Amino acid sequence: MNQKNKKLSSRKNRVIHTVSLFAGCGGSDLGLLGDFEFVGTKFPKLNYSIVYANDIDEHAAKTYKQNIGDHITVEDINNINAADIPNHDLLIGGFPCQSFSIAGQRKGFDDARGELYLHMVDFLKEKQPKVFIAENVKGILSVDGGRAFGKIISDFESSGYKVKHKLVNATDFGVPQKRQRVFIIGVRNDIKKDFNFEEPSAKRVILKDVLENRKDIDKKYFFSERAHQGLRNANKAFNKGRSQDINSQCNTISTHLAKSSLNGTDPVITVGKEKYRRLTPLEAARIQSFPDNFEFVGSDSKKYIQIGNAIAPVVMWHIAKSVQNQIFS
Ligand SMILES: C[S@@+](CC[C@H](N)C(=O)[O-])C[C@H]1O[C@@H](n2cnc3c(N)ncnc32)[C@H](O)[C@@H]1O
């Protein structure tokens, strides 16, 4: 290889040092790193290397350590000083969404959790990485008539970034789930490149492709006759709303799966006539596009929380690849 090509190739493969806040079990970070397979499709390794990650949840951090790496710290973001964090090129964070979620009370900034994004803003001001990627629920767009989102964007912009956002649906990326999430991407003002969201063109994956195909699913995943009747009484549209069409994509996987009685549009599987069961943790993880070799640590309930909180790795892989190609190449 001549000198010029050598230079180009090393530039192409330059490591992109990344800090991951609110890293949870590592859904976002698996996507960012790549090198995994989901329903027969390979997601090759990308050029990112994670130099620091944090989360407050020790169970999620155990899962993270087992599957991603032991660079995660279990710490409340309120106790972390941005100046103590290693320098990095990319900052990512799916900041907590309960206060913006339609499934929650939607208190926005009136809920202290609504202000956690400000820690990302502080990190950006202090460390000035080239790019940041933030993620949140669809509901963030409409809290307080859109004013809350407007403030979030202008806070990110005032840290020195050109900011773009897009509401994406995991379905379009080949994930068997109707999961709509807002991605916010900022490129530092002095960088002479713009980021543009690309239109995904993935093969559609349906629920049937990822359900556990075995007869001996543990009884604990089935609703008792009484619980089932309760669900029916509580929601007359039970069959229509929650019982999933296995030839389509699944409703959004949320942390509610950890609750003994599901609510809202939490997905339920119909098995035979009039029999309903919840998703197993393995199915929930697959619906979020985790590969089967990703092992979740903890009880079922802790697993459902980690899975429901995660950024779908396949969606993150596509976004991270676009960022790598457009900004870091
Ligand atoms: C939307 S989830 C992020 C999921 C993660 N990016 C993934 O893909 O698996 C938000 C995370 O923020 C964490 N969190 C909530 N409050 C926190 C705090 N004060 N400090 C640090 N982490 C916090 C939660 O434990 C949760 O894992």
- Mind listing the pLDDT tens digit for each residue in 85-141? 999 999 999 998 666 655 555 555 555 555 889 999 999 999 999 999 999 999 999
**What sign results for the dihedral spanned by CA atoms 116, 120, 136, 295?**
negative
For residue 256, pLDDT over 50 is answered with yes
Residues 6+ apart with CB under 8 A from 81: none
3-state SS assignment for residue 291: coil
Closest CA relative to residue 22, chosen from 133, 178, 143: 133
- For atom 10 of ligand 1, the residue with the nearest CA is 96
Residue ranges of the alpha helices (H) in the chain? 3-12, 27-33, 58-67, 117-127, 147-157, 225-234, 238-241, 281-287, 300-309, 313-323
* d(CA 93, ligand 1 centre) in Å: 8
List the domain boundaries for the chain.
15-204+295-302+310-328, 207-287
* d(CA 208, ligand 1 centre) in Å: 30
Q: How large a percentage of the chain has pLDDT more than 70?
A: 86
E strand or H helix at 183 = strand 180-188
For residue 300, pLDDT over 70 is answered with yes
CA 100 to chain centre: 15
CATH superfamily, region 15-204+295-302+310-328: Vaccinia Virus protein VP39 (3.40.50.150)
Question: What local confidence, expressed as pLDDT, does residue 225 receive?
Answer: 77
pLDDT-based confidence at residue 6 (cuts at 50, 70, 90): very low
> What are 199-228's pLDDT values in tens digits?
999 999 999 999 998 889 999 998 877 777
For residue 236, pLDDT over 70 is answered with no
For residue 61, pLDDT over 70 is answered with yes
Name every protein residue with a CB atom under 6 angstroms from any ligand 1 atom.
22-28, 54-57, 60, 76-78, 94, 96-97, 116, 309-311
Q: How confident is the prediction for the chain on average, in pLDDT?
A: 89
- Concerning whether 97 is annotated as a catalytic residue, the answer is yes
Tell me the best of 18, 21, 22, 177 to mutate to test the pocket of ligand 1, counting ligand atoms within 8 Å of each CB and taking the most.
Answer: 22
